[in-house]
Amino acid sequence: MTDVLAVANQKGGVAKTTTVHSLGVASAELGRRTLVIDLDPQACLTFSTGFDPDGIDRSVHDVFVRRQPIADVVRPIPGVPGLDLLPATIDLAGSEVHLLTRTGREHVLARALEPVLDDYDLVLIDCPPSLGVLTINGLTAAHSVVIPLQCEALSHRGVGQLLETIEDVRAFANASLMVRGVIATMYDDRTKHARHIIEEVEARYGIPVLQPPVRKSIRFAEAPARGKSILQHAPSSPGAEAYRALAAVLLGPVVVADAAG
C-alpha cells in the first residue's frame, strides 16, 4: 500500500520543505516511486526542485479549484528518476478561499490522490506554515505525520497546538492519522540547549525524536538555488547522510506514537 506522509509544523523556517525534498530524493534513490506535493502558496518546494513557479501553467491550485486530475499536473523532477512533483504557485493562496465554500473541503486532496496512489510507493506532502484548510487537507490525506523541529529557543511551543489540530483531524476527518515522530533540524550538538529541546519534546508530548538529527550546514542553503536537494548538491555531506538514514527509518516498519500528550 502507498504510504502517504505529511510533513507539518505551523512555525516557519523549521526545514519542512528541505525535509520533504530530501526524503523524496532519498526515497527515489532507494528505488521507490515517489511523489512530493507542494501545498505552500510560497511554492518553495517547487522552486527548490528546479521549477519556476511563475512559469507553471498548471498546479495543485487547478486540482483544488478546477478539479484537474493530478495525473495531468504532476511533473518529473529533473535528475531524479522515480521522483515526481505536484507543483504550487501563488494561485494556491486563492484556493484556501475556494475550499472554504466546498462541502467536504478537508477531503479534496485525499480524493484527488485516489486515482494516482497505485502509481507511487510514497507520497510526501509539504504542508504550509499554518493550521489552515490547506494543512488540514494534507493531514486528512496522510496516513502519518512527521514534525520537523528546529532545536532552538521557543521552537517547540507550537508542537502542542499542532498535536491538538491532529486530534481534531482524527476526530472529524481521518481517524487513522498517526504521528511518526519529530525530526530535529538545524541541530548543533555542541550546545546543551539543543539536547534539552529534544529531551523536553519527548518528555512533554511523548513523541519520539527520529534519529539521526540533521545538523546545521551551509550546504542546505546552497542547494535550493541550484534546483537540487542536498543529496544531489553535496551527496557525501553529513546532512545528506542524515536524510538517507531518516528515509530508511521512515520507510521501514511503522512505529507510531499517540498524539495526545
| pLDDT tens, residue by residue, 221-248 | 889 889 999 999 999 999 999 999 999 9
Domain count across the chain: 1
Q: Nearest to residue 147, comparing CAs of 164, 170, 133? A: 164
How many Å apart are CA 72 and CA 12, to the nearest integer? 30
How many Å apart are CA 139 and CA 9, to the nearest integer? 11
Domain containing 128: what range? 3-250
Peptide bond into 87 cis (omega under 30): no
Q: Nearest to residue 41, comparing CAs of 124, 135, 106, 113? A: 135
- Asked if residue 209 is part of any domain, the answer here is yes
Cell matching residue 164:
491538538
- Asked if residue 261 is part of any domain, the answer here is no
- Asked if residue 259 is part of any domain, the answer here is no
Q: Nearest to residue 91, comparing CAs of 41, 137, 151, 127? A: 41
Query: Which pLDDT value is given to residue 192?
Result: 79
How many Å apart are CA 27 and CA 240, to the nearest integer? 12
- Asked if residue 59 is part of any domain, the answer here is yes
Residues across the chain: 261
Report the chain's terminal Cα–Cα distance, integer Å. Answer: 29
CATH number at residue 33: 3.40.50.300
Query: Which pLDDT value is given to residue 85?
Result: 98
- Asked if residue 112 is part of any domain, the answer here is yes
- Asked if residue 48 is part of any domain, the answer here is yes
- Asked if residue 72 is part of any domain, the answer here is yes
Q: What is the dihedral of CA 197, 169, 96, 111, to 10 degrees?
A: 120
CB 33 within 8 Å of CB 120: yes
pTM of the predicted protein model: 0.93
In tens digits, the chain (261 residues) has pLDDT values of 899 999 999 888 899 999 999 999 999 999 999 999 999 999 999 999 999 999 999 999 999 999 999 999 999 999 999 999 999 999 999 998 889 888 899 999 999 999 999 999 999 999 999 889 999 999 999 999 999 998 776 667 778 889 999 999 999 999 999 999 999 998 887 777 778 888 888 888 899 999 999 988 888 988 988 999 999 999 999 999 999 999 999 986 443 445 544
CB 21 within 8 Å of CB 45: yes
- Asked if residue 55 is part of any domain, the answer here is yes
Other beta carbons within 10 Å of 204: 12
Sign of CA dihedral 216, 217, 220, 221: positive
Query: Which pLDDT value is given to residue 256?
Result: 42
